[in-house]
Amino acid sequence: MTRTRGTVVGSLAAAAVVVLAGCGLDRGGAVAAGDRPVRLERMSETGPPGSLGCASDRVLVRFRADVPDGPARERLRAHGFPDAHAIPAVRVYSARTAPGVSVAEALTALRGDGAVESAGPDPRTRIADVPNDPYFGAYQYNLRNLGGYLEIGGGLRVRLTAGADVKAVPAWDEVRGDPGVVIAVLDTGVDRNHPDLAYKVVGPGRDFVNGDDSADDDHWHGTHVAGIAAADTDNGVGIAGVARGCRVLPVKVVDNRGDGYYSWMIDGIVWATDQGAGVINVSLGGDVPDPYLEDACRYARDHGAVVVAAAGNSGGPVLYPAAYDETVLAVAASDADDAIASFSSFGPEVDVAAPGVWLLGPVPQAYVGPGRPPYVFASGTSAAAPQAAGLAALIRSLKPDLAPEQIMWIIRYTADDINAASLPGRDDRAGYGRINMERALVPYIIR
Amino acid sequence: MEERDRRRRSALALAVLALLAAGRAEAKQFHVTSFSAGLAYDHFARTVAWGGGGPSKLRAHAFGAQAEVGFSGGLVFSFAAGFSLVNPSRLAFGTLPISLEFRGANMSGLSLAAEAAAPVKRAGRFEIGAAGRIVYSSGAARSWPLEGFAVEGRATGRPDWLELSAGPRLAYLAFGPRIVPFAEVSARLLWAGFRMAETLGELGGEETSRVRGDFALALALGAEVRVGGPVKVKVKAGLAAGGGGADGLFSIGALYGF
């Protein structure tokens, strides 16, 4: 296969990059690294992947109204609950099961007791919190936008519109991502030593540029993209990732200048698919169509991988592979006001948008130099795409049986039509709109 | 699992007893002695776990016409057909492309019921009998729009349930034929299914949540009262205790004898 088929255009790179030095990231309401919220117990395995589930050793019991406290406690003791805690206002006892006794066994015994009105497992809860990653609150408006200003540094200040975000926090209450779902990041490589990615990267990956098995990042772009998609979250370090529980497979298909060939991309897509990646993020592209590249995207889809790609930053036609409508989800960039970024490429192939202006993400330490936080703000559809890829990974975590096309339709149909006032319905700038993780993942209520 | 098997065996034993009693009465003589018809209403609530999930209340109502045929030896068969309403609450459909949570709504349908009751032994003022009953409700589909998405969508739900119950009945005959109070213990097994279909643009799916043989033991008190001439009223109320707790049941019927 030739390696000279169409040079990958450099527009994959962000439209703007600001190194985080001197940004005062420890100020401005960011949670201090040591200020961890109370963690509850380890999740049980009774719920769906990523859900909180129920306690493995606790039950809740309500006795009939005519059963006084004394006899109720006696019955609980008889059932092997010596230290039940009463909550009289709601007539409920909270009890721990005896060692070696499962909740199911305990409930069977309790429910067979005529004095017991009802008994059930003790569902786990978790503070309705946000991750303790210190940059989450003040800088990741794309995940949760409360309004105010984004202080980028160097005198740069961006006004934020509350609600112009992907609604990550309520979606995380539903699912945080299955570690078995892997997002392949086809890019400049990934810094596997970065503190926000070290535990998230599956392995050394594959370098199709240098023809070896170590997809290290000799640029910054791939690490930034990988972090936005699935940075280690709630680890007290750096940023939060969209698919916070999923993992990353690095695949290097562009060189240290951000350039590459379609052949590297084709190799990367096929290789990532064969490695079992559930989602493939391609924050890069070229401006000419190519049947072999299209075949590679079809191969990925037919083998169960969702391919997500950046629309491009030229403000012109959508790049390839994003432009392959049937097999690739094309992502445009919106800003902190839910407007489509001026640089975002457009066309009928655009499926959805995601915030892509001044996105904070991790970069290799070498890129920013010693002593500086290894994070930069960057803009581009490259930063927008991994949010859609992260959402695809979360959908796959929750519903592993869905086909890639179904996942792509879910992402499209659940988007917020952010430019409905001027272009109602699907349009060529924002596609179906800015992705909405909450609508895609949280159950719709029927009454 | 053992507990569940034990309960199933108990239910089976009660059902066999009821059938044996009916068979014994049938074996003696077999000719129609009475025929009556009227209206009947049935209600029960049941705390169940749909698809093994958390507890959920299922409330069912059936209202319809009833016919009762009495045979010599005291064997009575009755049949009922009519409308049903069922209100299951808190069902989750998590494998559909867009997850749905059904928080409860009345779902109408058609119900069919058949019951057999027979005396087994009379001891002084008491009569021990047995009764068995099967009720099936086939729910009509109900749709809800799925709003807030980029395309129009609908969710369509359809519930069905079947309940088998059988057990002994103790009647007190001291008041004569005008008023016959009774107490009834029955083993009740419930099967239910709620099928939810979803369509949203190119997306579609179907998921069924089920209750498989949920067991409850019920105690009910009731009376058959002849209110004048050929009109008879049967009323029954009780409690059913099952895996999810205790729930109520109630039935009333008015029959005109021909």
CATH number at residue B114: 2.40.128
Residue in A412, A353, A443, A408 with CA at minimum distance from that of residue A142: A353
A344 has catalytic annotation:
no
pLDDT of residue A112: 84
Contact B245 A432 (CB under 8 A): no
Residue in A342, A433, A432, A430 with CA at minimum distance from that of residue A379: A342
Same domain, A117 and A134: no
Q: Does a structural domain hold residue A43?
A: no
Q: Does a structural domain hold residue A2?
A: no
Tell whether A326 is within 8 A of chain B (Cβ): no
Contact B151 A48 (CB under 8 A): no
- Determine the average pLDDT of the residues in A149-177: 95
Of the candidates B54, B98, B148, which has its C-beta nearest A120's C-beta?
B54
Q: Is the per-residue pLDDT at A99 higher than 70?
A: no
Per-residue pLDDT tens over the stretch B100-142: 999 888 899 999 999 999 999 999 999 999 999 999 999 999 9
Same domain, A134 and A118: no
Q: Which residue of B has its CA nearest to A112?
A: B243
Residue to test with chain B: of A413, A432, A439, most B Cβ within 10 A: A413
Per-residue pLDDT tens over the stretch A253-263: 999 999 999 99
pLDDT of residue B177: 83
Give the HSE-up count for residue A87: Cα atoms under 13 Å, Cβ half-sphere.
8
Same domain, A259 and A297: yes
Q: Does a structural domain hold residue A418?
A: yes
Helix (H) or strand (E) holding A447: none
Contact B100 A443 (CB under 8 A): yes
Domain that holds residue A209: 10-37+130-441
pLDDT of residue A30: 23
Of the candidates A410, A433, A439, which has its C-beta nearest B97's C-beta?
A410
Tell whether A404 is within 8 A of chain B (Cβ): no
Q: Does a structural domain hold residue A102?
A: yes
Same domain, A59 and A171: no
Same domain, A257 and A349: yes
Q: How many domains does chain B have?
A: 1
Catalytic residue among A216, A221, A283, A351: A221
Per-residue pLDDT tens over the stretch A271-304: 999 999 999 999 999 999 999 999 999 999 999 9
pLDDT of residue A341: 98
- Determine the average pLDDT of the residues in A204-228: 97
Per-residue confidence band for A268, with pLDDT thresholds at 50, 70 and 90: very high
Domain that holds residue B153: 2-257
Average pLDDT, chain A: 87
Tell whether A401 is within 8 A of chain B (Cβ): yes
- Poorest-pLDDT segment among A33-42, A210-219, A286-295, A402-411: A33-42
Same domain, A421 and A304: yes
pLDDT of residue B57: 83
Of the candidates B47, B95, B98, which has its C-beta nearest A410's C-beta?
B98
Of the candidates B94, B202, B243, which has its C-beta nearest A409's C-beta?
B202
Residue in B178, B100, B185 with CA at minimum distance from that of residue B143: B100
pTM: predicted TM-score of the whole model, two decimal places: 0.79
The residue ranges of chain B whose pLDDT is under 70 are: 1-30, 52-53
Give the phi and the psi of residue B233 in degrees, each rounded to 5: -115, 130
pLDDT of residue A34: 25
How far is it, in rounded angstroms, from Cα B244 to Cα A116? 10
Per-residue pLDDT tens over the stretch B186-196: 999 999 999 99
Residues in chain A: 447
Residue with tokens 């109408």: B108
- The interface predicted TM-score (ipTM) is 0.81
A382 has catalytic annotation:
yes
What part of A 229-288 touches B (C-beta under 8 Å)?
Answer: none
Check residues A447 and B133 and name the one with the higher pLDDT. B133
Same domain, A142 and A250: yes
Q: Is the per-residue pLDDT at A313 higher than 80?
A: yes
pLDDT of residue B52: 64
Q: Does a structural domain hold residue A47?
A: no
Smallest Cα distance from B57 to chain A, Å: 12
**Which chain A residues touch B202 with a CB distance below 8 Å?**
405, 409
Angle between helices A404-413 and A291-302 (to 10 degrees): 100
Cα separation values, A381 from A149, A312, B50, B157, B238, Å:
22, 6, 44, 41, 65
Of the candidates B47, B92, B241, which has its C-beta nearest A443's C-beta?
B92
Provide DSSP, B74-116.
Answer: S-EEEEEEEEEEEEE--EEE-SSSS-EEE----EEEEEEEEEE
Cα separation values, A74 from A70, A79, A87, A96, A102, Å:
6, 9, 16, 15, 20
Smallest Cα distance from A245 to chain B, Å: 19
Going A206 to A388 to A30 to A134, the CA torsion angle's sign is: negative
Q: Is the per-residue pLDDT at A222 higher than 70?
A: yes
Tell whether A426 is within 8 A of chain B (Cβ): yes
pLDDT of residue A7: 41
Among residues A123, A140, A161, the one where a domain terminates is A123
Of the candidates A401, A417, A443, which has its C-beta nearest B99's C-beta?
A443
Q: Does a structural domain hold residue A3?
A: no
Who's near A304: CB < 8 A, 6+ residues apart? A278, A403, A404
Q: Which residue of A has its CA nearest to B218?
A: A114
Among residues A123, A144, A173, the one where a domain terminates is A123
Same domain, A280 and A414: yes
Give the phi and the psi of residue A304 in degrees, each rounded to 5: 95, 5
Contact A40, A126 (CB under 8 A): yes
- Gyration radius from chain A CA atoms: 24
Please state, as a whole number, how many other Cβ atoms lie within 10 Å of the Cβ of residue A128. 8
Among residues A87, A107, A123, the one where a domain terminates is A123
Same domain, A143 and A287: yes
Per-residue pLDDT tens over the stretch A422-434: 999 999 999 999 9
Same domain, A99 and A138: no
Per-residue confidence band for A163, with pLDDT thresholds at 50, 70 and 90: very high
Residue with tokens 């059932």: A79
Contact B94 A410 (CB under 8 A): no
Average pLDDT, chain B: 88
Helix (H/G/I), strand (E/B), else coil: A349: coil
Sheet holding A328-334, edge to edge: A206-207, A247-252, A182-187, A279-282, A306-310, A328-334, A350-355
Same domain, A280 and A405: yes
Q: What are the residue ranges of helices labelled H in A175-316?
A: 221-230, 262-274, 291-302
Q: Is the per-residue pLDDT at A39 higher than 50?
A: no
Per-residue confidence band for A23, with pLDDT thresholds at 50, 70 and 90: very low
Cα separation values, A271 from A128, A184, A226, B48, Å:
39, 10, 18, 48
Q: Is the per-residue pLDDT at A9 higher than 80?
A: no
Check residues A369 and A88 and name the one with the higher pLDDT. A369
Q: Which amino acid is at B164?
A: L
Contact B97 A409 (CB under 8 A): yes
Same domain, A33 and A72: no
Q: Does a structural domain hold residue A1?
A: no
Q: Which residue of B has its CA nearest to A445?
A: B101
- Poorest-pLDDT segment among A84-93, A293-302, A371-380, B213-222: A84-93
A11 has catalytic annotation:
no
How far is it, in rounded angstroms, from Cα A40 to Cα A357? 35
Contact B149 A414 (CB under 8 A): yes
Q: Across the strands, what pairs with B76?
A: B70, B117
Q: Is the per-residue pLDDT at A40 higher than 50?
A: no
Q: Which residue of B has its CA nearest to A114?
A: B241
Q: Residue A327 maps to which CATH number?
A: 3.40.50.200
Q: Across the strands, what pairs with A207?
A: A212, A252
Q: How many domains does chain A have?
A: 2
* Angle at A122 (CA atoms; ends A119, A123), nearest 5 degrees: 130
Q: What are the residue ranges of helices labelled H in A217-327?
A: 221-230, 262-274, 291-302
Give the number of A-B residue pairs with CB atoms closer than 8 Å: 93
Sheet holding A54-63, edge to edge: A85-87, A92-96, A54-63, A116-123
